[in-house]
Amino acid sequence: MQENNQIEEIMMTLEEDLQKSVDFLKGEYGVIRAGRANPHILDRVMVDYYGSPTPLNQLANMNVQEARLLVVSLFDISQIKAVSKAIAEADLGVNISDDGRVIRLAFPALTEERRKDIVKQVKQLLENAKIAMRNSRRDALDMFKSLKNEKVISEDDMTYYEKEVQKVIDEYIQKLDKLFDAKEKEVMEV
């Protein structure tokens, strides 16, 4: 019975680690600008709100008004200069304007060369996520090897679990590839 708990724990840990890689990649892809307005580009913007760094999404509503125009409506209009400054410092490659009540972010059209650079960046993030998954696989296999060395599982069991780990890895790599394909299509769309 002890053996089954250890095996389940190894597999659960593996799946949790792999899901973290997928979630991380989704988050990274969410903030990459693809030529159209996307409120997620502001997810990492922190504003100095009365001396405390606060995420912008806690201080304002963000709405896509047009394909390349994002409108930021603040809950506390007195903070408009601080928010504009924080967005400018985030260096998002957008044009910022405010009329004293709302902030408008205009997303310039991307050149073909810039799109290709962004795809390279997207591909690098994909590769980093795959490396993290390979590290998770190695950790899981190391745990199974230690169980084999302790005579908890047999050589045949070890071969079976290696295949099971690889099946799980393949499943999660497919998820990463789908995320990449979708982001590449979004970036290259004119």
CATH of the domain at 91: 3.30.1360.40
Q: Please indicate, yes or no, whether residues 16 and 44 belong to a single structural domain of this protein.
A: no
Pair 8, 73 in one domain: no
Q: Which residue range is the domain that position 73 belongs to?
A: 39-106
For 156-168, write each residue's pLDDT tens digit: 989 999 999 999 9
Q: Write the CATH number for 16.
A: 1.10.132.20
Q: Are residues 124 and 169 in the same domain?
A: yes
Boundary of a domain, candidates 70, 85, 106:
106
| Mean pLDDT on 173-189 | 91
Residues 183 and 120 in one domain: yes
> Quick one: pLDDT band at residue 190, thresholds 50, 70, 90?
low
Considering the domain architecture, whether residues 163 and 98 belong to the same structural domain is answered as: no
Pairing of strands 95-98, 102-106: antiparallel
In this structure, are 26 and 51 located in the same domain? no
| Residues 117 and 183 reside in one and the same domain | yes
SS3 content of the chain, % helix, strand, coil (to 5): 65, 15, 20
Instruction: Give the number of other Cβ atoms within 10 Å of residue 93's Cβ.
Output: 11
The tens digit of pLDDT for each residue in 85-94 reads 888 888 777 8
Residue 98 sits in the same domain as residue 153: no
By the 8 A CB rule, do 107 and 33 touch? Answer: yes
Number of structural domains, the chain? 2
Residues 6+ apart with CB under 8 A from 55: 43, 45, 46, 47
The pLDDT score that the predictor gives to residue 189 is 78
89 and 52 inside one domain: yes
Residues 20 and 52 in one domain: no
Read off the pLDDT of residues 25-50 as tens digits, 9 standing for 90 and up: 998 888 776 667 778 888 888 888 88
Same domain (yes/no): 62, 124: no
Please check whether residues 169 and 124 belong to one and the same domain: yes
Domain boundary residue, one of 106, 131, 165: 106
Domain boundary among 106, 131, 162: 106
Question: pLDDT > 90: what percent of the chain?
Answer: 41
